[in-house]
Amino acid sequence: MKALGHFKTITEHKLLVMKYCFRVGLYRQGLLHDLSKYSWAEFRIGMKYYSGDHSPNASEREEIGYSTAWLHHKGRNKHHLEYWTDYDFSSGEPKLAGEPMPTKYMVELVLDRIAACRVYQGEKYTDSSPLEYLNRSRDATLMHPITRAQVTGLLTMLAEEGEAETLRHIKTVVLAHPEKIIPNLPRKEDPASKDRTFLRGEQARALADRLGTPFYLYDRATIENHCALLREAFAWNPGHRQFFPVKATPTPAILKLLREKGQGVVCSSAAELELCRRCGFLPEEILFMPNYPLPADLDAAAALGCRLMLDGPGLVEDFAARGMLRDGIGLRLNPGGVFRFGSAAVRLEAVKFGFTPEAALECVRQLQTHGVTSVGIHAYLSGNTLSPDYWPAAAKVLLWQAKKLMAETGINISYVNLSGGLGIPYRPSDKPLDIIALGDSVRQVFETETAGTALENVPVFTEVGRWITGPAGLLVTRVHHVRRGFRAIAGVDASASDLMRPMMYGAYHHVSVAGHEGEQNRTAWDVVGSVCENTDKFAVNRMLPEIAPGDVLLIHDAGAHGHSMGYQYGGRLRCGEYLLESGQVRRIRRAETTEDYLRTAIFEE
């Protein structure tokens, strides 16, 4: 009778998955789903442990410590995330890690979970059950973050919008355009939360009328708050120094504000050095980290006498010739291999920065012949990440490299530079980093890794850019045209020349309509600029309230790598910048004019 019971359970489940697969157009997968459950290796176990409300695999696992049926099953069925795991040796010890699942199997996994929850939970099942199950399960640790984001997005949609809408979305959007499935659903508890920022509603419209659009607006209070939080996060390290990467927001008023808050700057070119000098930064507050530097960059740094960094081999003699070798000079390392943190992975061979471990050793020996007795170390390991595991993992890698250099050459380490790369919640569904908790995780790594060594209390340097100013900047723009053809399109007066990230990386920037924040009634819009490139789009298929010409749109999280990346392609010129402080708005950069555009042009022979 157990055989019949088990047969009924798996068949009921299989038919349900098949029905769902057919509804989204996955016919072959619908027919083949879970066929191996009817093989003797799996069926035998299912029959033996059949109970009706408990997984036979789990029962087998309880009895003999592992499940033979599951091992047989997950190796043959591509809709299981375990099928998509592989060895990862980056930590020194082999461990299993998830790879991204192909879209059609990711979808089958989602449908499998819906069906399994329905079959096992019976009348207790609701559209939220699969999401709740996912959140309770341990899957997240093995699932690749991209897959996890996709699965979470679809199950969130199921919980919020129901099965019919989710299946329709899977069929017409997810499977039809597999590259567009990164979820972008607002948080369930407060769908409009992301619409709210330091400027909104009537105030935004009034400011747009007064200043003329487009323009950048930065919020002093947000920047100050982030400076204070970062400082607090590293209060445990007496030597901590933060150097803001100038390329993120090279605007004097912002840089001076950061200096007031105790931050230094990282520069990578002669022009950035000059900018910082004019902003009042002292040489020891400037960390020069050029990348494949040009002679003019090195000359400028030598003249300034700032802190220096070697970003790879072949530079020692260039530095020596300019009298730039001294204690505390920095080395940018590239440990190679795959850098894994949490469930993300960065293949470091593809990174253009830094010394290989062998080259670093050789460089230190060379520096020692020039009388250098201490170096600082740095590595670029990842960028724009929201993983709380990134900095602790980077700290481990750097400390390990530091110990190796010390042991093999006797050099002293004057600081360990964690670099920047902390992400911000661009999407409503992103979870912001808790910087205080992050600082504490880094502290734990430093304490365990340096106890009893010469590295105890070694100063920690950081180079946080985006996390400090990103959320503190808005691009304010006005709608000039509304067109309804194949899609609803809002044409605005800002363009990629003001904010290039969406065009360049397909980056997401949240968009809100001033005065309609949090409005529930939304339809899909493209928000586009006026550069003659089809990629000049701030948002594609974005759910927004009704838009009319004259509306003011706010493009969020543009305070870092925003205005600074701007350019003049198509004769579109960069807009001005303003700083909001104590309720007042101060202009901190004028908009470019046609004269600026023509300044470098040569008209006469």
Ligand X SMILES: *Cc1c(COP(=O)(O)O)cnc(C)c1O
The binding site for ligand X (CB under 6 A) comprises 245, 247-248, 266, 268, 289, 383-384, 419-422, 463-466, 560
With beta carbons less than 8 A apart as the criterion, state whether 343 and 81 touch. Answer: no
Of the pair 230, 554, the CB lying nearest ligand X is at: 230
Paired tokens of 525: 């819009």
Paired tokens of 314: 């072949």
Of the pair 390, 538, the CB lying nearest ligand X is at: 390
In the complex, what is the shortest distance from the CB of residue 163 to ligand X, in angstroms, rounded to a whole number? 40
With beta carbons less than 8 A apart as the criterion, state whether 512 and 556 touch. Answer: yes
- The candidate with the shortest Cα–Cα distance to 69, out of 95, 97, 48, is 48
In the complex, what is the shortest distance from the CB of residue 353 to ligand X, in angstroms, rounded to a whole number? 9
Of the pair 435, 553, the CB lying nearest ligand X is at: 435
Give every CB contact of residue 551 below 8 A, 6+ residues apart in sequence: 478, 479, 490, 513, 514, 515, 516
In the complex, what is the shortest distance from the CB of residue 561 to ligand X, in angstroms, rounded to a whole number? 6
Residue 411: strand pairing partners: none
With beta carbons less than 8 A apart as the criterion, state whether 591 and 229 touch. Answer: no
In the complex, what is the shortest distance from the CB of residue 248 to ligand X, in angstroms, rounded to a whole number? 4
With beta carbons less than 8 A apart as the criterion, state whether 405 and 413 touch. Answer: yes
- What gap in Å lies between CA 8 and CA 12, rounded to an integer? 6
Furthest CA-CA distance within the chain: 97
- What gap in Å lies between CA 580 and CA 473, rounded to an integer? 10
In the complex, what is the shortest distance from the CB of residue 518 to ligand X, in angstroms, rounded to a whole number? 29
- The candidate with the shortest Cα–Cα distance to 451, out of 483, 403, 496, is 403
In the complex, what is the shortest distance from the CB of residue 104 to ligand X, in angstroms, rounded to a whole number? 34
In the complex, what is the shortest distance from the CB of residue 479 to ligand X, in angstroms, rounded to a whole number? 30
Of the pair 384, 495, the CB lying nearest ligand X is at: 384
Of the pair 111, 424, the CB lying nearest ligand X is at: 424
Residue 417: strand pairing partners: 378, 461
Element (H, E) at 443: helix 435-450
- What gap in Å lies between CA 416 and CA 588, rounded to an integer? 34
In the complex, what is the shortest distance from the CB of residue 383 to ligand X, in angstroms, rounded to a whole number? 5
Of the pair 56, 290, the CB lying nearest ligand X is at: 290
Task: Give the β-pairing of 215-219 and 473-484.
Answer: antiparallel
DSSP 8-state assignment for residue 174: I
Of the pair 289, 511, the CB lying nearest ligand X is at: 289
Of the pair 267, 372, the CB lying nearest ligand X is at: 267
Using left for φ > 0, alpha for ψ between -120 and 50, and beta otherwise, residue 214 falls in beta
Instruction: Name the residue with tokens 């035998």.
Output: 44
- What gap in Å lies between CA 329 and CA 326, rounded to an integer? 6
In the complex, what is the shortest distance from the CB of residue 255 to ligand X, in angstroms, rounded to a whole number? 14
In the complex, what is the shortest distance from the CB of residue 7 to ligand X, in angstroms, rounded to a whole number? 56
Paired tokens of 520: 């529930």
Of the pair 336, 383, the CB lying nearest ligand X is at: 383
- What gap in Å lies between CA 148 and CA 106, rounded to an integer? 9
In the complex, what is the shortest distance from the CB of residue 38 to ligand X, in angstroms, rounded to a whole number? 52
DSSP string covering 260-273, please?
HTT-EEEE-SHHHH
In the complex, what is the shortest distance from the CB of residue 207 to ligand X, in angstroms, rounded to a whole number? 26
Sign of CA dihedral 66, 68, 73, 74: positive
Of the pair 432, 549, the CB lying nearest ligand X is at: 432
Of the pair 208, 560, the CB lying nearest ligand X is at: 560
- The candidate with the shortest Cα–Cα distance to 548, out of 603, 468, 596, 478, is 478
Of the pair 117, 289, the CB lying nearest ligand X is at: 289
With beta carbons less than 8 A apart as the criterion, state whether 270 and 300 touch. Answer: yes
Task: Give the β-pairing of 374-379 and 584-589.
Answer: unpaired
